[in-house]
Structure 1
Amino acid sequence: MPTVLGLTNSPSQNAPSQSPAPAGTSSPKMGGNNRLDTISKRNHHAAREVETLFWRALCDSPEAAKEYMAKDCIMINPLFGGSSKPMGKDTEPSIEQILEGCEPWTGFRFHGEPLVVEIDLMAVALVYKVTLFKARSKGGVREVTASVGSSWRQTAGADWLLCAQHVQFCEEEEEE
């Protein structure tokens, strides 16, 4: 079928079976084996991306992480104030109160790629292991390794919001 530019998006009889990336494509994902050409692939990609943005916000300004969270978000996260108590908007203290007084982390590192599963067309869950770093006032760096499970839902405006997260400290395995 012809397009506005006179190009065609129909395969030509003389064209090779594997076509190159479309001209003018700005996304490196288009035209290759890693194409984000299905809703499922876009959801998996978005889940990893928004989880990364959430941790970056916690490293820059924990209070800024609230913009990635649903108003009804619930979590267990001992990295915020050291408590393993369930938190939500109605708990004492609430997630918002904890984030307002939380010290930022210096950095983080995922261990491999987070595993993602679609819960629904507009909801995903991730599980992964992460190491967080915090500079100590007396010098050196504190490292904390944790396992994380997060659930995200997409709004009608296509934004992804964290609706649940569970973080647990990990015991490091002995390397042989």
Structure 2
Amino acid sequence: MPTVLGLTNDSRTAPAAPGTSNNKMGGGENSNKKHDRLNTISKRNHAAAHEVETLLWRALCDSPEAAKEYMAEDCIMINPLFAPGGSTEPMGKDTDPSVEDVLAGGEPWAGFRFHGEPLVVEIDLMAVALVYKVSLFRQSSKKNGGMREIVASVSSAWRQTAGADWLLCAQHVAYADDDE
């Protein structure tokens, strides 16, 4: 942490030892993204975006109805993974079925996995959007009992409330070809 004199006790910004480089921009061999300090609003927003998206999918896998806790009242979405009959019709609070209805009747998934890191963009100081691919897993109903994998591309938009909670405003989920 910088002091009044400009000295620091943070080893990532300490002067380089003779014969070594001191790349403060990151990307070097000493850079460790997981341990970067969240010392800016932007960094905190990016970290929060990853965290809330993960929490949303955990809730959707455990109990889809529990995911409502992470959604704004006016949340809109297209999500054939939960909509009746795999519908791709937009849903909101005033549609039939509504987002709440779809989640209340949703079947939980066995698990999920992000394909790489979701890309995040700040929309505003208190809003972010993410895009990524995800695999969802469900126990197959066939006699062999294996896991069935569904790959989807997802776009989500979140806004932060005055109380610092992040709420999902919009989500678009579409089936994707698994080309990995």
| Mapped partners of 1:19, 1:44: distance in 2 | 22
* Structure 1 position 33, deviation (Å): 5.8
Among 1, 5, 19, the residue aligned to 2:10: 19
Asked if structure 1 preserves the Cα contact closer than 8 Å seen for 2:2 and 2:9, the reply is no
Which of 96, 119, 122 aligns to 1:118? It is 122
- Count the aligned residue pairs: 155
Q: What letter is aligned with 1:120?
A: D
Matches within 5 A, 1:23-42: 34-42=36-44
CA separation in 1, counterparts of 2:102 and 2:5? 60
Q: Distance in 1 between matches of 2:35 and 2:110?
A: 35
Report deviation, 1:140.
1.1
Aligned pair partner of 1:140 in 128, 146, 150: 146
Give the secondary-structure state (helix, strand or coil) at the position aligned to 2:108: coil
CA contact (8 A) 2:153 2:174 kept: yes
Residue 130 of structure 2 aligns with an amino acid whose one-letter code is L
Q: Distance in 1 between matches of 2:71 and 2:132?
A: 19
Corresponding residue to 1:46 among 44, 48, 53: 48
- 1: CA distance, partners of 2:35 / 2:87: 44
How far off is 1:12 after superposition?
5.2
CA–CA distance in 2 between the matches of 1:122 and 1:78? Answer: 28
Q: Is the 8 A contact 2:128 2:158 kept in 1?
A: yes
1:116 partner amino acid: V
Equivalent residue, structure 2, for 1:77: 79
1:68 to 52, 67, 70: 70
Matched-pair contact (CA < 8 Å) for 2:114–2:134: yes
What is the alpha-carbon distance in structure 2 between the residues aligned to residue 160 and residue 124 of structure 1?
9
- 1:108 corresponds, among 103, 112, 125, to 112
Match of 1:56 in 2: 58
Aligned 8 A contact 2:120 2:130 in 1: yes
What is the distance in 2 between the residues matched to 1:134 and 1:33? Answer: 34
Any unmatched runs of 5+ in structure 2? 13-33
Moved over 4 A (4+): none
1:157 aligns with 2:148: no
Q: Which structure carries more helix by proportion?
A: 2
| CA drift at 1:172 | 2.2
Residue 11 of structure 1 deviates from its aligned partner by 5.1
How much has 1:43 moved relative to structure 2? 0.2
Structure 2: which amino acid aligns with 1:36? L
Partner of 2:16: none
The alignment yields a C-alpha RMSD, in angstroms, of 2.0
